[in-house]
Amino acid sequence: MSTLISSPGVYRANALASLGQLPSFSPILKNLMAGLAGDDVSFSLIAKWIEKDTVLAANVLRMVNSALYGRQSSISSIHHAISILGVIKVRNIVLSLSVSGMWTKLRTPKGFSIARFNLHSAATAVLADMLVQKLPSDYPEGGFVAGLLHDIGKLLIALSAPEQYLAIQQLSESSNRRLTECETELIGITHPELSALALEKWQLPEPIRRAVQDHHVDSLDTSRLSTAVQIANAVANRLGISVMSSSTVGDPRELLVSIGLDASSTSILEDFKLEFESIKSFY
């Protein structure tokens, strides 16, 4: 362990350099990310983008025809799918599928599961999106994307310093200390900081970058997007949907109650379960 601690500056430099390993956005992902600042992306334009990617189009149709939406007849066109799900819902589905597909191009080290990483990211995205619809968030349109990309820094650490990544997990578990404290001690930078730098590289809106960077800063200020991401992340972990195989013990309802969602905590978790079950098979 002393060898790891002795040169955090080197690991920090390697982690920052790993930003260059991130794959580029696909054309459709670029278009969708560029439209995050508003809801003015047209129905026909999104359909046109999706139809250019046959795999993506097939997955969107598979989603709309899933048991979650209880269709009695099969939906076979993207335009019809968008009319049923809505532009925002389809945009979130496409964002999630496109981002998760990017990581298949990366060679991750032993001990890091892309499948768990994708599931945790998707779960946090769905939950964060649900929370910003219930809370007076300062940037509700960024809830899904902030949740989806909040842990990119963990992937970067695993890519640039695989031994240190595992050492960070072990130190956090054995010492019962925050993961971010152990990251700072061992590599000189935290995964939220790296996540925010990745989002800056991709030129995502500043409110989303700020929410991602602050998602481990304790706050019950429900007007902050970072609070929604923080709670969504914690709820996903308590439900056992975590990046690491171990998960946090506790009742997820407690977290929702802590931000004033007492009355709707059960319905949020029930709605989440239905939506998450429908997307698990995509990962």
> Do 142 and 76 lie in a common domain?
no
Same structural domain for residues 68 and 145? no
Q: Is residue 100 part of a domain?
A: no
64 and 151: one domain?
no
Q: Which residues of 62-97 are buried (b: 16+ CB within 10 A; e: fewer)?
A: ebbbeeeeeeeeebeebeebbeebebebbbbbbbbb
To which residue do tokens 């001990």 refer?
111
Q: Is residue 146 part of a domain?
A: yes
Point out the domain boundary residue: 68, 92, 116: 92
Q: Report the domain count for the chain.
A: 2
- Does residue 111 sit in the same domain as residue 225? yes
In degrees, rounded to 5, the angle at the alpha carbon of residue 78 between the alpha carbons of residues 33 and 53 is 55
Q: Find the CATH number of the domain harbouring 198.
A: 1.10.3210.10
Q: What is the dihedral of CA 106, 107, 109, 113, to 10 degrees?
A: 60
Cβ proximity of 252 and 233 under 8 Å:
no
**Same-domain check for residues 175 and 137:** yes
DSSP letter for 280, please.
G
Which CB contacts under 8 angstroms, 24+ apart, belong to 240-243? 241/119, 241/120, 241/123, 241/276, 242/116, 242/120, 243/113, 243/116, 243/117, 243/120, 243/151, 243/154
How many residues would you count in the chain? 283
Give, for all 283 residues of the chain, the pLDDT tens digit. 444 445 777 878 888 888 887 887 887 888 777 766 555 567 788 888 888 888 888 888 887 777 566 666 688 888 888 888 888 888 888 888 888 888 877 888 888 889 899 999 999 999 999 999 999 888 898 999 999 999 999 999 999 888 899 899 899 989 989 999 999 999 999 999 999 999 988 888 899 999 999 999 987 788 899 999 999 999 999 999 999 876 567 899 999 999 999 999 999 999 999 888 877 877 7
113 in the same domain as 86: no
Residue 98 lies in a domain: no
What are 199's two structure tokens? 């989002």
| Residue range of the domain that includes 62 | 24-92
pTM, two decimal places: 0.88
Give me the phi and psi of 263, to 5 degrees please.
-70, -30
